[in-house]
Structure formats: structure tokens, C-alpha cells
Copies of this chain bind each other. A is one copy, B any other.
Amino acid sequence: MKTFTQFESHELANTLIEKALGFKNNPLQSKDKGQGKRLGLIFLNPSLRTRVSTQLAATNLGVDSFVLNMDKESWALEMQDGALMNKNKVEHIKDAAAVLGGYFDMLAIRAFPTLTNKQEDTEDFIINQFIKYAGIPVISLESAIRHPLQSLADMVTIRENFKEKRKPKVVLTWAPHIKSIPHAVANSFSEWALGCGHELTITHPVGYELDEQFTKGATIEYDQKKALQDADFVYVKNWSAFNPYGKILKVDENWLLKENKLGTNAKAKIMHCLPVRRNLELSDEMLDGERSLVQVQAKNRIYAAQAVLDSML
């Protein structure tokens, strides 16, 4: 595996899910496999959970990891080919990525969208520039449009918590937020759930339609209550509008997910990638109750990352 930035195939997803479950059962089973290998973790945006879970995964495999925070303020990278660099950008992605490619055996990169340049974000420009110039295997720690390690952890969580023969019914429900949030988690969840053959319904207020390249095959249902009927898993997540790009249309607080919306559905499990805005996106009663899988998802981030790193070694 040279890059891990998106869903590739049901077969690969299956392999990674099984591998992750194996590591969860015995995290140190390959503790010397990565001896002498070095992973560079590049953050163009801040991270806590993603950074730590990936470092723990690396440590479980004997891989040394090194964190580089290249926030826009402190180490602004020029991304455009041919630029005359006489402004605030201190280094070109070409040079920075090549140096890092020479220093490490694998790179993992977080690069959020600007939410101001739809075309650049949609092309996943920044992470693709890194891949182009680094020349070594690259793992996405969330790009402009995808968050594949989160989605892999989510698929692991669904596999662990669904033992029936039939396809699970999965619902992705939009939730209110006060900030303009990227589409990456929602896009990837849809891409992976559909790719893994789950039955997916997406529900959101009119206007919050996601980019169709990620949702083709899902049922779109604007009535939240109706969408939630018979759900096995309910994934709660905010995202900003795709049209007009990156905008908050309205913080519709009625979309808060709370217990009474699930009616008589006793089996539905609740998922969220964290951090979650309590009582704005999801109610305390749900997060602290029996339905919640959010802590399981967070823990599975370690084993998802470990499965990916292991496949690259």
C-alpha cells in the first residue's frame, strides 16, 4: 500500500478491518516489525486524538514517530507551482515535502480545507501536492475532503457491534454547530459505509446536500425522524453547506439528536467522531447512555492506524 487517503475496495477495507480487530485483541503482536522505521506526522492543522492514536499505533509496531506542526502561521507553505515567493510563505511544498520524504520512511499528513476555494479543496490539492513531491508512502490524517482513518475506525466499530447476517441499516444525520465545519468526516463515512455494502440513509436540512461523488447509492431523506426508523447505527455529524461552499445556512437546533427521536427503536447505537458539542449536536443522555459507541470509536482509531501502518511496512 503506497498511499492511504480514501476507500479503495471492499476487499482492502475488509483486510484492514480484520487486521485492526486482531491488533485490538493483541496490540503488541508485531512490536518489532517496524524497528528502525520512522514515521513523520505533519500537521498543517491542530490535532490531539488523531496525533496520539497514530503515535500509539506506531509505537505498538516499533516505529519511531516524529511530530511536525506546520500551522499556517508559523511555517506557511507555498502550494502553487511557479510562484514568485516574495510574500509571507517561507517554503515551497516541493522542497518541504522532498526533504521530509528523504528523512522518513512514511509520512502522515493533516491538511484541512480552507473552505474558501471550492475547486482546490475538491481536488484535495494540498495532500496531493505532498504525495507528488514526498516520494514515499503517505497516510491522510484528514484532508480537505476525506478522513479515512476515522472511517476505517468507524467500520471496525460497526463490525464489532453488529452480529446479524443482514446488512446493517446505517443513518448519517446532520447536527447543529456554531462553526463552519469541513465535509471530510461525512464524505468519508458515506464513502466507506457504501463501499462496505451497508445500507446508508443520509438525513439533513434542505441545502446541506453533500458532494454527490461520496453519496451515490445512499438514500437522502430530509425527515430526520423518518430516517432514524429501524436504524442499527446513527452517525451524528455537522457539516457546512457544499453549496454555497463552506457556509452555515442556519443553526437549526431542532436537529439535535436526543433520545425521544429514536422512538421505539431500542437497538440503535449512536456514533460520533469526537470532539462533540454536547447538547448542541447530541444530548448528554445519549452520549452517557448505553447506546453510545463514541468511546469505542475513539479507541479503535489506534487499531485502524495500526492496521494501515502495518500494511505499509
Binding site for B on A (CB under 8 A): 28, 31, 36, 38, 40, 46, 48-49, 52-53, 55-56, 59, 64, 66, 68, 70, 74-75, 78, 81-87, 90-92, 94-96, 98-100, 102-103, 178, 251, 274-280, 284, 287-288, 294-295, 298-299, 302
Assess whether A275 is in contact with B91, with CB atoms less than 8 Å apart: yes
Distance in angstroms between the alpha carbons of A244 and B266 in the assembled complex: 54
C-alpha gap A56/B75 in the complex (Å): 20
For A95, give its contact among B53, B102, B279, B294 (CB under 8 Å): B294
Looking at A31, A46, A66, the one whose CB has the most chain B CB atoms below 10 A away is: A66
Query: Which B residues are CB-close (under 8 A) to A82?
Result: 279, 284
Q: A64 with B68: in contact, given A277-B85, A278-B83, A278-B85 (CB under 8 Å)?
A: no
B275 touches A98 (CB 8 A): no
Bound form: Cα–Cα A251–B98 in Å: 28
Minimum CB distance partner of A276 in chain B = B95
Give the number of copies in the complex.
3
Say yes or no: A52 contacts B40, CB within 8 Å. yes
Which residues in B have their C-beta under 8 angstroms from that of A96? 48, 275
Q: Are B278 and A92 in contact (CB under 8 A)?
A: yes
Interface residues of chain A: helix, strand, loop or mixed (majority): mixed
State the Cβ distance, A154 to closest chain B Cβ, in Å. 15
Q: Is the CB of A56 within 8 A of B103?
A: yes
Q: Are A75 and B52 in contact (CB under 8 A)?
A: no
Q: Is the CB of B64 within 8 A of A103?
A: no
The answer to whether residues A86 and B178 also contact, given A95-B276, A295-B98, A299-B103 and a CB cut-off of 8 A, is yes
Distance (whole angstroms) from the CB of A82 to the closest CB of chain B = 6
Residues of chain B contacted by A53 (CB below 8 angstroms)? 103
CA distance A312 to B98 in the complex (A): 30
| Most chain B Cβ neighbours within 10 Å, of A84, A95, A294, A299 | A95
Query: Of B59, B276, B298, which one neighbours A38 at CB under 8 angstroms?
Result: B59
